[in-house]
Structure 1
Amino acid sequence: MAEKKNPPSFEETLAQLDSIVNEMESGDLPLQDALEKFEQGIKLSRMSQKALEEAEQKVHILLNEQQQETLQKFTPDDTDA
């Protein structure tokens, strides 16, 4: 029976995405390789986004279980710039 491969962690996904970005920014990739890296980057980006959405959902569930306030939308302070 074949083992089911676990998906990479959020941190691993970000590291792979960072590596792809660095490779593509170098400008040394042939067009076909660049397209393949771009496609892989899109997949990794979607995986990361999904992981973040799942983490946010878990936080909401935990807050609801504790009957605490709901999360507020984050709005960055313009004064920090």
Structure 2
Amino acid sequence: MARSFAHYGRRVSGPQVGAIAVMTRRGGGGHVGVVSGLDRRGNPIVVSGNHGRRVAESVYPRSRVYAYVVPH
């Protein structure tokens, strides 16, 4: 289900604050979150759920994100 977010809105070429980051997950699933910034290496800082049953902000490797989407 998370991977379906890659088809919503308008795709953008890189991380933008407010964009949805669509990420891969081991086992073929996916994960989504909202980009809140970038770390000093250019990795997206993402706010998302499923962090120990809570919402949290985390840095994800750029290589794990396969789409950035801006909602309509």
Structure with higher helix content: 1
For the criterion TM > 0.5, the same-fold answer is no
TM-score range, shorter-chain basis? under 0.3
Normalising by structure 2, we get a TM-score of: 0.23
Larger Rg: 1
- Structure number with the higher strand fraction is 2
Tell me the TM-score normalised to structure 1 length. Answer: 0.21
Higher relative contact order structure (alpha carbons within 8 Å, sequence separation ≥ 6): 2
